[in-house]
Structure 1
Amino acid sequence: MAVFNILHITKYQYNFAVKESSNEIRLFPHNFENQDVLHYDLMISHYPEVTYSNDYHGNKVGHFNILEAHDEMIIQSKMLVRINHSLKIPEIDDTKVSAIDLHNDIYLLRLSYPEKIKKQAEIEAILKEIHFEEKSIIDIAYACNQYVFNNFEYTKGITNVETTVDEILGHKKGVCQDFAHVLLQLLRTAGIPSRYVSGYICPNESGMRGEGATHAWVEIYTPKQGWLGIDPTNNIWTMDNHVKLSVGMNFKDCSPAKGSFKGLAQQTLSVSVQIGYEDGRHIQEINDVALQKNSVVFELQSNHTEQQQQ
């Protein structure tokens, strides 16, 4: 069991003022079997009114607008969370994929469909290589997890939030969200309902990749044990230092913050995560997030606007 105090700061900055910003956030940690949210606090610059709803996957979603002109938007999410993953350590379980009753559960059925990609034959070859048809659900998940860990290089700056599974398979490099997307393609092709998980991996001095920052992993469904978390970036089942924020089909369903605005401006995104321990220690990680590139037309218009301002 572990208790973590997490401060997550998302900062958007614009080179020119924008207005009528409309936003959607998924920054609310789950209360579930092995995770208790002891305290939560949300602060947003310009103090907009936030309304809440639950999405298809059961995630709590915040919606807000900033109508006035602004050149910066800061979202500060603070949480105190207690984790006890010993409640969800996978048991010895020989249940096969054929035992999953997909036809009577639309949600599980949807999560068992692999994405349509050009390199699907490569995915099927990997599954054949690990002899997935002979294995249980738990063993397939572990074998696929191990394959991704051993055959993909953890490298920052190669990919962004728009990188496709085909591209990841091509260069075999990426970060946690890329590892999760490849693992999802493998598991769903094998017929296992699987979902993307967004959250944090809190440092435990074991040197795991992704510690102290936003993290991503995968959950698989088994008829006997329900949802189990598995982390391809570190080749482990989820532990007491994995804090869960949201779940979905992929990253797009779990994006911590997304939205739109009016104005001809280029934006930059910086994410800071600070994690505190019960003994008073803390660690902080700051990342500049790679966003989708602007169109050529946008760049030309933006450059023209900038020249007029000089």
Structure 2
Amino acid sequence: MAIFKITHITKYQYSLPIKESINEIRLFPHHFKDQEVLDHQLLISHDPEIEYFRDYYGNRVANFNNLAAHNEMTIESRMTVRVNHSLKIPEAEITTAKDLQEEKNNDITLLRLSYPETIARQQDIDAVLASFDAANNSIITVAQLCNEYIFNNFTYTKGITNIETTIDEILELKKGVCQDFAHVLLQFLRTAGIPSRYVSGYVCPNESGLRGEGATHAWVEIYSPIQGWLGLDPTNNIWTMDNHVKLSVGRNFYDCTLIKGTFKGLARQTLSVSVSIRYEDGRHFEEMNDVQLEKIPQEINEQISYIEQQQQ
């Protein structure tokens, strides 16, 4: 069991005033038997009115608008969570993907989470699963073998992929970061017929030196009719444990995007994200990253340059 105090600050800055910023956020820690939310605060610049709801996958979501002109927007999420799922390996079970078919047919969500993406390199996925005898092995065994395969055959490398990178491209590169490895693992598991979902959250630093610590992280959960949802972290070749804090779940990254929105106006924007994690014993870890945003189209870029020149 562990208690973490996590502060997640997202800061947008604009080169020119923008208005009517409309946003949707998923920065709320899940509350379930292995993760207790002791406290959560959401602070947003300009103090907008916030509307809350639950999405299809049960994530808590907030919508808000900043209508007045502004050059900066900060979203700060402060949470205190108690995590208690230190069991590093699930119990052994004999359930196979075939055994899940009837339950999937009666549960549209499980069925939805069992469909793999249509990709060009599907033969590569099929060949690896055949080598694992995925059709006859238990879902726990297949999941663990797939997790280990990604860890051993893909290199953790920052800066060469982005949210637009496809599964085919990741399979070609054999490099990437946590969200890439989660998407590849989902392709393996769903091809094998195992209901599985993408998870976004944090890996809190510990003495093990896990990759992806301190910043937002991604992993996968598989469904077991006996043990419920079980988490695998392909970036580190482990089952999730006390230092994994869950924020949201869905089919893929897009269902779990922490913040997404739009605005009116012509401006260049920059985005920085800071994650601070405090422990009960007083230890403190902080990481800040500048996020690479999509490139502005040339025509829009020229218009912004012209406006900036006129203001000089």
Shift of 1:308: 2.8
What is the rounded CA distance, in whole Å, between the counterparts of 1:13 and 1:183 in structure 2?
35
- Give the match for residue 124 of structure 1: 126
Q: Is the aligned partner of 1:56 residue 2:56?
A: yes
Q: 1:160 to 1:10 in 2, by over 3 A?
A: same
Contact 2:88 2:238 in 1 (8 A): no
Identity %: 67
Match 1:105 to one of 100, 104, 107: 107
Alignment of 1:57-206 (within 5 A): 57-86=57-86, 89-100=89-100, 101-206=103-208
Contact 2:88 2:239 in 1 (8 A): no
CA deviation map 1:138-178 (0-9, x unaligned): 01100110111111110111111221111111211111111
- In the alignment, structure 1 segments of 5+ residues that lack a partner are none
Shift of 1:263: 0.7
What is the rounded CA distance, in whole Å, between the counterparts of 1:176 and 1:116 in structure 2?
21
What is the rounded CA distance, in whole Å, between the counterparts of 2:123 and 2:306 in structure 1?
46
Which amino acid in 1 is paired with 2:24? E
Name whichever of 8-17 and 292-301 sits farther off: 292-301
Give the match's secondary structure for 2:306: helix
Contact 1:162 1:292 in 2 (8 A): no
Contact 2:202 2:213 in 1 (8 A): yes
- Give the match for residue 282 of structure 2: 280
Q: TM-score if structure 1 supplies the norm length?
A: 0.97
Which amino acid in 2 is paired with 1:81? V
- Give the match for residue 304 of structure 2: 302
Shift of 1:108: 0.2
What is the rounded CA distance, in whole Å, between the counterparts of 2:188 and 2:282 in structure 1?
41
Contact 2:98 2:135 in 1 (8 A): no
What is the rounded CA distance, in whole Å, between the counterparts of 2:193 and 2:277 in structure 1?
37
- Give the match for residue 292 of structure 2: 290
Shift of 1:46: 0.7
Q: Is the aligned partner of 1:229 residue 2:231?
A: yes
Which amino acid in 2 is paired with 1:54? R
Name whichever of 125-134 and 11-20 sits farther off: 125-134
Contact 1:99 1:223 in 2 (8 A): no
**Backbone CA RMSD of aligned residues:** 1.3
Give the match's secondary structure for 1:114: coil
Name whichever of 286-295 and 265-274 sits farther off: 286-295
Contact 1:23 1:63 in 2 (8 A): yes
Give the match's secondary structure for 1:6: strand
What is the rounded CA distance, in whole Å, between the counterparts of 1:71 and 1:129 in structure 2?
55
Contact 1:88 1:228 in 2 (8 A): no
Contact 2:219 2:233 in 1 (8 A): yes
- Give the match for residue 271 of structure 2: 269
Give the match's secondary structure for 2:105: coil
- Give the match for residue 209 of structure 2: 207
Give the match's secondary structure for 1:305: helix
In the alignment of these two chains, the number of paired residues is 310
Shift of 1:234: 0.3
What is the rounded CA distance, in whole Å, between the counterparts of 1:294 and 1:116 in structure 2?
29
CA deviation map 1:9-33 (0-9, x unaligned): 0111111111000000000001011
